[in-house]
Chains A and B, each alone.
Chain A
Amino acid sequence: MAATPAREWTGLQQFPVATQTALHNILGTLRQQNKESLTVLVVGKGGVGKSSTVNSIVGERVTIVSAFQSETLRPLQCARSRAGFTLNIIDTPGLVEGGCINDQALDIIKRFLLSKTIDVVLYVDRLDGYRVDNLDRQVIRGLARSFGPNFWRLAVIVLTHAQFSPSDGVNYTEFVEKRSAALQAAIRQEAGLKKDEKEVPYALVENSGRCNTNDGGEKILPNGTVWLPALVERIVEVATGTTDSVFVDKKLIDGPNANEWGKWWIPVLAVAQYFLVVMPIRKAIEKDLAEEKNQRPQWEIRAEEFRRNTSLYDDDQVDEQAISQALEQDDGLSGQPSSFVDEDDDDDEF
């Protein structure tokens, strides 16, 4: 977690004059947009040349680089200012250890970046690699998940060891295109970039002292381009581009708190559960009960009919008894009228 305070960018004076002029112009565009500082994060697998690239950009030996020794163990921020403009470059430890992604390194990086804003990301990998494998994808995915979707929109692919002649007589330009396309496709897929977004830009870098130079003393690539200004140009393009910088706050580090998400919907959910799940299941249970009633065995149906008939029968019996009682009373009371009727009959007969 070492961070050297902003010092004068003395390294600039080491570059050849042409390079200095180019860099001045490019950085001028930043000042036109009132950007007084730029934070660049350099990430990648171990041993690809991140620290070397940082040294190359700054122009001095900021980080210790050794070909065979285990590399940077902690993130290192290097700040250099020139004419009111400050460049912050953050070098990080490699993200791969022992064949799988190093979560600890990712954690350390996250904690280092707390309360800092990332303007540009340099994703460093070697040009002389032929495959983009699962490990690379895991790294890309891990970074996307840790820092959010905008992380990869701020990225520039940096391909180191660019002074490389591909074998099998493949054309240099063709090789560069294929290699960068493979990485761009992997980033697009793993970071979830949409189809209509433009591809991640790439830059070629050769950090070793053996790098060829042109007449002006500038370091050039096999295809003749001067790589340092080109790299800085890519960086400035992203910095002045449409994507917003990523501010790393606690929330970003801890991840979205899934516990809080949607809490206000809980009452709505409870009501929805009642109507959409509980009611249909209750209806199904009632349907079962009704079906059970319909499929009753014969003896139960008959018993119910029997009870009904018997109760009707009993009612009939009660009615009959009441009627017979009433008739008896009538007979007792109205002995006269019956004889009266008889007389009438006699009259009729007559």
Chain B
Amino acid sequence: MNCGMFQSVEMDGVTNLDGSLKMQISFTESQWQPADSFRCVNVGLLSQSKGPEGDEKMTDQQREELAKSQEEEYKNRLRQARPCMLPKSVEREISSWLRGETRVTARMLQRIRDRVQKWYHDEGYACAQVVNFGNLNTNEVVCEVVEGDITKLQIQFQDKMGFPSVGRTQEVIIKRELPDQLKAGNIFNIEAGKKALRNVNALALFSNIEVNPRPDEDNDGGIVVEVKLKELEQKTAEVSTEWSIVPGNNGRPVLSTIQPAGSVTFEHRNLQGLNRSILGVVTSNNLFNPQDDLGFKAEYVHPCVDGVNNPRNRTFRASCFNSRKLSAVFTGGPGVEDVPSVWVDRAGFKANLTECFTRQSKFTYGLVLEEVTTRDETSSICVHGARTLPSGALTSDGPPTTHSDTGIDRVAFLQANLTHDNTQFVNGTPIGDRHIFQVDQGLGIGSKNPIFNRHQLTVTKFIQLQPEDKLDPEKPPLVGVIHGRYGGCLGDLASYDAFTLGGPYSVRGYTMGELGAARNFLEMALELRVPVKKTHAYCFAEYGTDLGSSKDVRGNPTEFFRRAGKGASYGVGVKLGSIRTEYARDCNTDTGAIFVRFGERF
């Protein structure tokens, strides 16, 4: 009776022949005058309306006065209530229900309540609730809703057990990443909570993040958003490995051609609670012979360069590096075996600023100071490339390896990289565009005052050729990929900086540098990805050319090592997880081989 839904309830008990008791409950629903319009108001944060107080001993006049004052009070309350978010379309829908009935019943009110709450919950307002119906005996039914206003945002750090603890991270860093819709004064929406989770997760400072709303005890109808965070260890060490299989002599992979690559990372993160970190990385592309390709880097990362309160997202990075790589400029073409290798050691320091516009598009600019040393296999400095003559003798009057002709070059230059990437994953495969422009500008500082402008422009377009399968989100759609890359250099070009053609990320089917080393180059690739069960198979065609600029590299290493200068390849492959297995046919020598690689080509 007290819930207000029923006018009268009667219970009859009837005894049965078998001794059981049959209960009969008959009720009359509360009814009110018919109405033809419906309105919804947000009564969050208002004090609860008091129910009608009926005193048995009141006279009629007093009851009438009480009713009038209650009406006045209610009208006041309505005036104080805020407009709600329920769209007019739903209000009209409910009004049409009311018009269809001769009277307003409790059952009707329940239907209205369910409908209103369904709309709120579908749109993500998980804390919305219908608390009361008012104006029941008038033409207009008023529905009072508490939508879930956020009154407070609390950040709570937890230790490994889940008990509250003091966190190292400064709250400003976390509050920067929370969307505006989670701040006090907004209605809580579960999507805002999810966005907050994603953004805070991207900081990579926490092992566990929870965003929970709970009712505010101090404010009726208010919601407190609690963000619970478990911080990661400040000091970590990590080892990661990957490996690829390259074809052996007869095109078939052999155990010795399996190349495991790996890296060991030490990181000391979240210095001063401001997400600054120092990290040291040691990588090798061939763990069996780490001295072949070894790199070391120590880096300091300082995000929020413009200040924690500035929404501009710029990160400062400073690092010293030391790496050793086999030069692909001094390698032979097909048929020229045993070219004495030249190692390029680069050691130096670089500092740059990175500005992130979106999660993928960014602009990096900075300064690099490096010392480049070219060594031969015996680790002594070599100044010229070498090759074996047909007579068997070794000639060392090949192309000069460094700009200063001494084997050691010191150079300082400005480096900038602008990446525009709007690729998004559609059913597991990326669709969109990616444009990358990179330029190295020499300043005339260094050995023999090198002034140069080396630039590279990469354009990749992933085009969706078929609408995606919405029913099966794991089946990728048919995708076509167009890729082009142009690079050029104006000014002093040292041979170790020349662009090499050929290789798994240049023209597939050729080994790195097999097609030559050039001053300007152009690469093009086309790939068609066909969905096959839950993954895709693809066919591709690639072409690379040096645009005749091989002779413009000092000493013409392309000609010296008898490389073609340009070449094309085509083939087919299939992607299994993160491994690509492909068969590529080399058009210059008309041979094919099977390759197994990790990661993406584009």
Q: Is the Cβ of A104 less than 8 Å from the Cβ of B389?
A: yes
Give the segment of B220-228, B272-280, B296-304, B547-555 that binds chain A: B547-555
Q: Which of B475-495 contact A (CB under 8 A)?
A: 490-493
Q: Which of A295-335 contact B (CB under 8 A)?
A: 297-300, 302-303, 306-307, 309-310, 313
Q: What are the residues of chain A within 8 A of B389 when measuring CB–CB? A: 104
Nearest residue in B to A303 (C-beta to C-beta)?
A: B181
Q: How far is the CB of B283 from chain A (nearest CB, A)?
A: 30
Q: Which of A236-266 contact B (CB under 8 A)?
A: 255, 257-259, 261-263, 265-266
Q: Is the Cβ of A292 less than 8 Å from the Cβ of B491?
A: no
Question: Do A259 and B493 form a contact, CB below 8 Å, given A273-B455, A284-B420?
Answer: yes
Question: Do A282 and B418 form a contact, CB below 8 Å, given A266-B453, A302-B85, A306-B85?
Answer: yes
Q: How far is the CB of A335 from chain B (nearest CB, A)?
A: 25
Q: Which of B536-574 contact A (CB under 8 A)?
A: 549, 551-554, 556, 560
Question: Do A298 and B358 form a contact, CB below 8 Å, given A266-B490, A270-B453, A303-B192?
Answer: no
Residue interface mask B366-410, A partner, CB < 8 A = 1? 000000000000000000000001110001010000000000000
Is B189 engaged at the interface, CB distance under 8 Å to the other chain? yes
Is A277 engaged at the interface, CB distance under 8 Å to the other chain? yes
Q: How far is the CB of B348 from chain A (nearest CB, A)?
A: 22
Give the segment of B53-61, B128-136, B434-442 that binds chain A: B434-442
Q: Which of A96-117 contact B (CB under 8 A)?
A: 97-98, 100, 103-104, 107
Q: What are the residues of chain B within 8 A of A103 when measuring CB–CB? A: 560
Q: Is the Cβ of B491 less than 8 Å from the Cβ of A266?
A: yes
Q: Is the Cβ of B439 less than 8 Å from the Cβ of A273?
A: yes
Q: Which of A74-103 contact B (CB under 8 A)?
A: 97-98, 100, 103
Q: How far is the CB of B425 from chain A (nearest CB, A)?
A: 16
| Cβ-defined partner of A285 (8 Å) among B180, B361, B453 | B361
Q: Is the Cβ of B418 less than 8 Å from the Cβ of A281?
A: yes
Q: What are the residues of chain B within 8 A of A309 when measuring CB–CB? A: 82-83
Q: How far is the CB of B353 from chain A (nearest CB, A)?
A: 15
Residue interface mask B335-365, A partner, CB < 8 A = 1? 0000000000000000000000110010100
Q: Which of A42-100 contact B (CB under 8 A)?
A: 97-98, 100
Q: What are the residues of chain B within 8 A of A261 when measuring CB–CB? A: 552
Bound CA span A255–B557, Å: 14
Is A6 engaged at the interface, CB distance under 8 Å to the other chain? no
Bound CA span A145–B559, Å: 12
Q: What are the residues of chain A within 8 A of B435 when measuring CB–CB? A: 281, 284
Q: Which of B405-463 contact A (CB under 8 A)?
A: 418, 420, 422, 433, 435, 437, 439, 441, 451-453, 455, 457
Q: What are the residues of chain A within 8 A of B191 when measuring CB–CB? A: 297, 299-300
Q: Is the Cβ of A313 less than 8 Å from the Cβ of B358?
A: no
Bound CA span A310–B185, Å: 9
Is A289 engaged at the interface, CB distance under 8 Å to the other chain? yes
Question: Do A265 and B123 form a contact, CB below 8 Å, given A288-B361, A310-B185?
Answer: no
Is A3 engaged at the interface, CB distance under 8 Å to the other chain? no
Q: What are the residues of chain A within 8 A of B85 when measuring CB–CB? A: 302, 306
| Cβ-defined partner of B395 (8 Å) among A104, A282, A313 | A104
Q: What are the residues of chain B within 8 A of A257 when measuring CB–CB? A: 554
Main secondary structure of the interface of A (DSSP, over half): helix
Q: How far is the CB of A27 from chain B (nearest CB, A)?
A: 39
| Cβ-defined partner of B358 (8 Å) among A265, A285, A306 | A285
Nearest residue in B to A312 (C-beta to C-beta)?
A: B83
Q: Is the Cβ of A299 less than 8 Å from the Cβ of B452?
A: no
Is B201 engaged at the interface, CB distance under 8 Å to the other chain? no
Classify chain B's interface size. 35 or more
Q: What are the residues of chain B within 8 A of A135 when measuring CB–CB? A: none
Is B187 engaged at the interface, CB distance under 8 Å to the other chain? yes
Q: What are the residues of chain B within 8 A of A255 when measuring CB–CB? A: 551, 556
Q: Which of B71-91 contact A (CB under 8 A)?
A: 82-83, 85
Q: Is the Cβ of A98 less than 8 Å from the Cβ of B390?
A: yes
Q: Is the Cβ of B490 less than 8 Å from the Cβ of A262?
A: yes
Q: What are the residues of chain B within 8 A of A292 when measuring CB–CB? A: 358
Q: What are the residues of chain B within 8 A of A182 when measuring CB–CB? A: none
Is A1 engaged at the interface, CB distance under 8 Å to the other chain? no
Q: Is the Cβ of A258 less than 8 Å from the Cβ of B493?
A: yes
| Cβ-defined partner of A281 (8 Å) among B189, B437, B455, B519 | B437
Q: What are the residues of chain A within 8 A of B551 when measuring CB–CB? A: 145, 255, 258
Is B102 engaged at the interface, CB distance under 8 Å to the other chain? no
Q: Is the Cβ of B390 less than 8 Å from the Cβ of A265?
A: no
Q: Is the Cβ of B519 less than 8 Å from the Cβ of A288?
A: no
Is B138 engaged at the interface, CB distance under 8 Å to the other chain? no
Question: Do A300 and B181 form a contact, CB below 8 Å, given A104-B395, A282-B418, A288-B420?
Answer: yes
Q: Is the Cβ of B123 less than 8 Å from the Cβ of A303?
A: no
Question: Do A262 and B491 form a contact, CB below 8 Å, given A145-B551, A303-B187?
Answer: yes
Question: Do A263 and B491 form a contact, CB below 8 Å, given A299-B124, A299-B191, A303-B187?
Answer: yes
Is B186 engaged at the interface, CB distance under 8 Å to the other chain? yes
Q: How far is the CB of A276 from chain B (nearest CB, A)?
A: 10
Bound CA span A302–B125, Å: 11
Bound CA span A288–B432, Å: 11
Question: Do A258 and B552 form a contact, CB below 8 Å, given A273-B455, A278-B418, A299-B189?
Answer: yes
Q: Is the Cβ of B554 less than 8 Å from the Cβ of A278?
A: no
Bound CA span A297–B195, Å: 12
Q: Is the Cβ of B358 less than 8 Å from the Cβ of A263?
A: no
Question: Do A258 and B554 form a contact, CB below 8 Å, given A302-B85, A303-B181?
Answer: yes
Is A269 engaged at the interface, CB distance under 8 Å to the other chain? yes
Q: What are the residues of chain B within 8 A of A265 when measuring CB–CB? A: 490
- Pull 25 A–B residue pairs with CB atoms less than 8 Å apart, ordered by A: A98-B391, A103-B560, A104-B389, A259-B491, A263-B490, A266-B491, A269-B453, A270-B453, A273-B437, A273-B439, A273-B455, A281-B420, A281-B435, A284-B420, A285-B358, A285-B361, A288-B357, A289-B357, A299-B181, A299-B189, A300-B181, A303-B192, A306-B186, A310-B185, A313-B82
* Given A277-B457, A306-B85, 7 further pairs, Cβ under 8 A: A98-B390, A104-B389, A258-B549, A263-B451, A266-B490, A288-B422, A303-B187
